[in-house]
Amino acid sequence: MKRFTGGIGCTVEIDRQQAMERRDFDYYEARARNDVVKYADITSCNGNASVLVRLRFLRHPLKILRIADSNDDCDDDCFIVREGDDLGWLGCFIGKSKNLEELHLNSWGGGENIEALIEGINRNRSIGSIHVSTDLGGASFRNLTPFFRNNNSLTRLELNDFELGLECAQSIAFALGEGQCQSLTNLRLNDCNLSDEGLTVIATALRTYPQLESLRFQNNNIGLMGCIALRDMMRGGGIKLEDS
């Protein structure tokens, strides 16, 4: 909130988010088409600017992209979210990329215009593998439903190394159930402390995925109820449950 004190001593609060112009995918696409993009003005560092350039142009196309909030274990394929990064531009170039094959969502920190980033991911048709190692929040998973529905290149989905609670599991199940990604063949949920209840809702959504070939649920908190849900989901199919 920003506060402004009027001449009569009253204080008016203005919500900054409501005051800002809404920036969706079309906003960024129009400016990328009509204007010269000044990468230094829309990113926090040269490395992030380089990522945008490689997403946008074909000379050295980016095939693997990692979105994180620190440079630990990151190479030149990593967009490190810091203050000053407008994630709408990242979403715009992800959405238009025809070369991006693998997306790693380690974090998107406190970047601006996350909604436009999600919209850009939803518009991408080339990503074949997506890896999530942070709790994106229930709303964000649900908002990725169009990505699963419309991307016929996606074959692999991995969720690793974060606390996957029931609400998050319900959102993942919703995205998979509504999205009906017919190309998805490999699903892994490892080190997520996934419970019986969480696995049950995800397994229920996966009943409409007869094309699944491989599942891995390693280092979770799965008991008898979860095993029964998996059995019922896999019954009659050719799915392989990996144990390592």
Reported pTM: 0.86
* Structural domain range at position 119: 23-194
In a domain, 210, yes or no: no
Task: Answer yes or no: is 79 within a domain.
Answer: yes
Q: Kindly report, residue by residue over 155-186, the tens digit of the pLDDT.
A: 999 999 999 999 999 999 999 999 889 999 99
For residue 188 the two structure tokens come to 């892994």
pLDDT tens, residue by residue, 50-59: 999 999 987 8
Domains in the chain, number: 1
In the prediction, which pLDDT does 8 show? 39
Residue 64 lies inside a defined structural domain of this protein: yes
* CATH number of the domain where residue 151 is located: 3.80.10.10
58 within some domain: yes
Do the domain assignments include residue 144?
yes
Q: Residue 46: which H helix or E strand, with range?
A: helix 46-56
Q: Is the pLDDT of residue 4 over 80?
A: no
Give the pLDDT confidence of 19-37 residue by residue, as tens digits: 345 688 889 988 888 777 8
In a domain, 92, yes or no: yes
Q: Tell whether the model's pLDDT for residue 219 goes beyond 60.
A: yes
Q: Per the domain annotation, does 138 fall within a domain?
A: yes
Q: How far apart are CA 47 and CA 41, in angstroms?
A: 13
* Residue 5 forms part of a structural domain: no
